[in-house]
């Protein structure tokens, strides 16, 4: 069977790795892939926003299943395009992808179906936004409505910060698309990433993950796409999981059914565990990054079997077992990320690393060398029953890998 993975990050490398781990008979391709993907499959140059170009590659390579990693092609309707042309493709359609493509839509959906989330206001003008923030005391949160690669959310401490961010969105237009924002209460607690496989009618929960989004230790610095994560979080338990299912997951699926939204794929719940229980921060419509890098190594069995069952609407016939061991990922990033950073730095000592899995993100292979090619460069992942041993072997590998401008957090897996 031939499988095409759309995307170039650590998430896509992890998906392909999991597929090959189960069976070497699976042949994997990626558009465009990265420097690490080349060790398990073929990277094909291509524009993931050009569906016609991808279609030609699918036909040429005789691909059986397409798996979409990033959110942008999903929001642009890649699933609708390939389903219309009779191909098997994994991910939600354009209508369903709106849960991530529009923060405003998602918040209104949560309100309608009484899914716990922070109180909020929505505006599409600078003037109205100023009137809202004038009345608010920090901290509160401003979220850009559209897709922003994990960089559209800011915690605001005072009026000046709020005004400046509204100016960036509405006046300077730092994001693509029509400016629109959610202004909401700042929830206090512990963050949790909770993902499910679903075909709308049934679902299977994945193992829970704690993600670290700020660029520096102690949750300081700018918001990023994620600097590391571990599973399961120390504060997760059966009672919390039952509450998440009862108050959040199942009402969300009931809402999908009532709205006639056919959702087939991965649904990601970004949660805040507060003193009053779990609240939804956001929905994502795909595997998380770097959450995927710690979830899939704990999964037993065939990922393709699960994916096919979702495409065909038969997820209720599948069961998944999860390893008892803990997993942890530390992301090595380029200096300057999530702002400006340099590319093309040679990555050394990859061959000296042991007892971990390396998921490449922003890398490329050139003249036999692996070079940096993005903000988040490599995710170093380990599995172990003991969290102390796990952190030890992951950070030993992180310290072994070298390139100019290397940056990483040193507190992944530590809880206050």
245 shares its domain with 151: no
Tell me: pLDDT of 416 over 80: no
Boundary (domain end) residue, out of 301, 322, 343:
322
CATH number of the structural domain spanning residue 22:
3.40.50.20
Q: Locate all alpha helices (DSSP H) within 211-318, ordered by sequence.
A: 238-244, 250-258, 291-295, 303-311
314 shares its domain with 365: no
User: Tell me, what's the pLDDT at 150?
Assistant: 73
Closest CA to 54 of 81, 27, 86, 75: 81
pLDDT confidence band for 306 (50 / 70 / 90): very high
Q: Are 225 and 376 in contact (CB under 8 A)?
A: yes
Average per-residue pLDDT for the chain: 96
Q: What is the pLDDT of residues 265-275, one digit of tens each?
A: 999 999 999 99
297 shares its domain with 343: no
Tell me: pLDDT of 158 over 70: yes
CATH number of the structural domain spanning residue 279:
3.30.470.20
230 shares its domain with 352: no
Q: What is the pLDDT of residues 144-156, one digit of tens each?
A: 999 987 778 899 9
Residue 47, Cβ density class (10 Å: 0-12 exposed, 13-18 middle, ≥19 buried): exposed
Alpha-carbon span 17 to 157, nearest angstrom: 42
Has residue 114 been placed in a domain?
Answer: no
Q: Are 288 and 193 in contact (CB under 8 A)?
A: yes
Q: What is the pLDDT of residues 356-365, one digit of tens each?
A: 999 999 999 9
Boundary (domain end) residue, out of 296, 322, 348:
322
User: Tell me, what's the pLDDT at 12?
Assistant: 98
Tokens for 364, please give them.
């490329």
User: Tell me, what's the pLDDT at 148?
Assistant: 86
According to DSSP, the β-strands at 357-360 and 27-32 are unpaired
Q: Are 274 and 189 in contact (CB under 8 A)?
A: yes
Has residue 369 been placed in a domain?
Answer: yes
Tell me: pLDDT of 89 over 70: yes
Domain count, the chain: 4
291 shares its domain with 194: yes
Q: Are 42 and 25 in contact (CB under 8 A)?
A: no
State pTM to two decimals.
Answer: 0.95
202 shares its domain with 267: yes
Is residue 374 helix, strand or coil? coil
Alpha-carbon span 371 to 258, nearest angstrom: 49
User: Tell me, what's the pLDDT at 92?
Assistant: 98
Domain that holds residue 199: 190-322
Has residue 132 been placed in a domain?
Answer: no
Tokens for 55, please give them.
């279609």
Boundary (domain end) residue, out of 322, 355, 382:
322
């Amino acid at each position: 069977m031939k499988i095409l993975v759309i995307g170039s990050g650590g998430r896509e490398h992890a998906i392909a790795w999991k597929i090959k781990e189960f069976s070497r008979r699976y042949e994997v391709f990626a558009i465009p892939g990265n420097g690490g993907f080349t060790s398990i499959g073929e990277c094909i140059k291509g524009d993931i926003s050009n569906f016609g170009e991808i279609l030609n590659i699918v036909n040429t390579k005789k691909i059986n299943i397409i798996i979409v990693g990033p959110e942008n092609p999903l929001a642009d309707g890649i699933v609708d395009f390939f389903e219309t042309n009779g191909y098997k493709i994994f991910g939600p359609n354009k209508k369903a992808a709106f849960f991530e493509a529009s923060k405003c839509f998602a918040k209104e959906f949560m309100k309608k179906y009484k899914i716990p989330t922070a109180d909020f206001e929505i505006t599409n003008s600078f003037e109205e936004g100023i009137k809202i923030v004038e009345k608010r005391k920090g901290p509160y949160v401003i979220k850009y409505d559209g897709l922003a690669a994990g960089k559209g959310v800011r915690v605001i401490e005072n009026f000046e910060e709020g005004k400046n961010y509204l100016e960036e969105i509405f006046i300077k237009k730092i994001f693509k698309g029509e400016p629109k924002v959610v202004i909401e209460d700042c929830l206090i607690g512990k963050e949790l990433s909770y993902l499910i496989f679903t075909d709308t009618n049934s679902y299977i929960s994945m193992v829970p993950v704690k993600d670290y989004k700020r660029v520096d230790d102690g949750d300081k610095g700018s918001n990023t796409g994620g600097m590391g994560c571990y599973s399961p979080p120390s504060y997760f338990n059966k009672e919390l999981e039952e509450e998440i299912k009862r108050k959040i997951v199942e009402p969300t699926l009931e809402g999908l059914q009532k709205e006639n939204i056919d959702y087939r794929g991965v649904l990601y719940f970004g949660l805040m565990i507060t003193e009053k229980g779990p609240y939804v921060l956001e929905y994502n419509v795909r595997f998380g990054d770097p959450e995927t890098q710690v979830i899939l190594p704990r999964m037993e069995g065939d990922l393709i079997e699960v994916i096919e069952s979702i495409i065909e609407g038969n997820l209720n016939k599948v069961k998944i077992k999860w390893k008892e061991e803990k997993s942890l990922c530390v992301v090595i990033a380029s200096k300057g990320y999530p702002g400006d950073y340099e590319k093309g730095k040679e990555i050394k000592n990859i061959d000296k690393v042991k007892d971990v899995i390396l998921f490449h993100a922003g890398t490329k292979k050139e003249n036999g060398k692996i070079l940096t090619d993005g903000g988040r460069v490599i995710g170093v992942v380990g599995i172990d029953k003991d969290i102390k041993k796990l952190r030890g072997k992951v950070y030993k590998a992180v310290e072994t890998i070298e390139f100019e401008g290397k940056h990483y957090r040193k507190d992944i897996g530590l809880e206050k």
